[in-house]
Structure 1
Amino acid sequence: MRNLAIKWMSILAVLLYIMYGHFPVGNAHAASFNGSVQECIDHPKKCDSNSTSDSKQKKSPSSTSTSSVVSVWDIIKMVFALIFVIALLYCLLKFINKKSRSYQNNRLIQNFGGTPLGGNKSLQMVKVGNRLLVIGVGEDIHLVKEIDDKDEVTALMNQYNQQLEQSLEPRDIITKLTNTIKTHVKKDEQGTSSSFKHLLVNQLDALKKERKTVMKEMEQMENKHDE
């Protein structure tokens, strides 16, 4: 499955290179008169022809620069390419989710989840083949109950598959990513605020100590003056 994802990513990179790798670039050329002043005096016609060619070549960069500006069609192509890339990534994620879900369903033993009971004890629901078992886990493992009702088994399996599909949805992955980014940002803000508070407290303590030393020095000076 990992090799398949790498293959799709390489195809996507090739498509992006084909779409964006061939933008026109404007080129400007310049020429100058290589003769001396004496040659220009001796041959004024030649000097005039060179000056006219220079003026024409000075005008050419403006035309090339206008041709190198991105047109509206290029913007439309970029928008459609972006939509295509997003759709391709969404389809790729859906395909990977289906493969992972089918892999989960084909396993002989599946853990449907559980709940802790305290004291290193928990209650687990396990699927073994087509049987659904409720197992107590503590110092030892023992069978609590086997669910025999077919309707209840199918309902629990459908609920488990829905939860698995929702947890693997691309939008859920994006929301989880944004939530992790937000939590990291909040932690950084809390860290900066706590460090600022700590610095402020240290500065206030230093001011208090300095004030006490100044007051002691003033008292000592007054005592010496009285003596």
Structure 2
Amino acid sequence: MKQKNFTKWLLVFFLCVVFTPLAHADTDPDISVSDCIGKGVDCSSKDSTKDQINEPAESTDDVTEITPTGLTAWDYIRTLLAFIFVIGLLLWLLRFMNKRNRTFDQNRLMTNLGGVPLGQHKSIQLVKMGNHYFVVGVGENVQLLREIEDPDEIADLLARYDQEGSEVRKGIMSQLYERFFSKINSGTNKETSDFSSLFTSKMEEIRADRKQQIDRLKEKGSDRDG
């Protein structure tokens, strides 16, 4: 319960920090804060009077200059925080969905905990039915091989089942990373093997051609001697 409340308040904090807009205040060098608060001066009336005085001057200007506002360091920090928040939210959502699926599997009457294929349409499956665990052979028919009743063995099997689930949850990006670099390494090894085989074949051709030339020279020498 405490962990859920902490996560909730952490999300609220990040939302407030990242998505809070920045407000810019206009300043008037002729009026101070003490004049507006302590002395009861109507600052709004002075602002309106000043705006009315400046209206003719502004209307006479044909070209208005707009000062560009660049990105500040705080804007980059907010973008980085938003990116980290989104990634963390996705990871938390994935973990929550996996935990929910685990809870759903535990509450089901029958659950397949895994299996090993032994050939075409043949396998050995570990099945949980209620609080009982069975090892069955699946082929042309389903045959009960044994029932697991040892608590230590059941605990070991459940621990391995949870470990396999944690390995699956390690992330899609890491799996894609491994597959990508394995393809690159396999492609590099294939290119290296192709080059070495081509180099070897060329060397064999050169040796065979050289041997033929030597044999021809020997034949010519023997003909002259004869």
TM-score scaled by length of structure 2: 0.53
Q: SS state of the match for residue 75, structure 2?
A: helix
Show the counterpart of 1:92: 93
The percentage of counterpart residues that share the same residue type is: 32
1:196 is displaced (CA, Å) by 1.3
Q: Which residue of 1 aligns with 2:176?
A: 177
Matched, 1:131 2:132: yes
Within 5 Å, give how 1:138-153 maps onto structure 2. 140-147=141-148, 151=151
Shift of residue 160 of structure 1?
5.4
Structure 2, unaligned stretches of length 5 or more? Answer: 1-18, 20-64
Between the aligned partners of 2:128 and 2:199, the Cα distance in structure 1 is 58
Change (3 A) 1:215 1:158: closer
Q: How many residues align?
A: 162
Q: Does the CA-based 8 Å contact 1:135-1:144 persist in structure 2?
A: yes
Q: What is the one-letter code of the residue matched to 1:79? A: L
Structure 2 matches for 1:18-33, cutoff 5 A?
none
CA RMSD of aligned residues (A): 4.0
Q: Taking CA–CA contacts closer than 8 Å with sequence separation of 6 or more, which of the two structures ends up with the larger relative contact order?
A: 1
Separation (CA, whole Å) in 1 of partners of 2:162 and 2:140:
33
Cα distance in 2 for partners of 1:155, 1:172 equals 26
Residue equivalent to 2:187: 188
Q: Which is worse superposed, 108-117 or 206-215? A: 108-117
Q: Aligned residue for 1:50?
A: none
Alpha-carbon offset, residue 76 of structure 1: 1.7
Describe the shift of the 1:154–1:204 C-alpha distance in structure 2 as closer, same or farther (beyond 3 A): closer
Contact 1:109 1:128 survives alignment (8 Å):
yes
Aligned to 2:23: none
Distance 1:215 1:93, change over 3 A: same
Q: What residue is the counterpart of 1:201 in the other structure?
A: 200
More helix by share: 1
Question: Offset of 1:204 from its aligned partner?
Answer: 0.3
How many Å apart are 1:113 and its aligned residue? 3.1
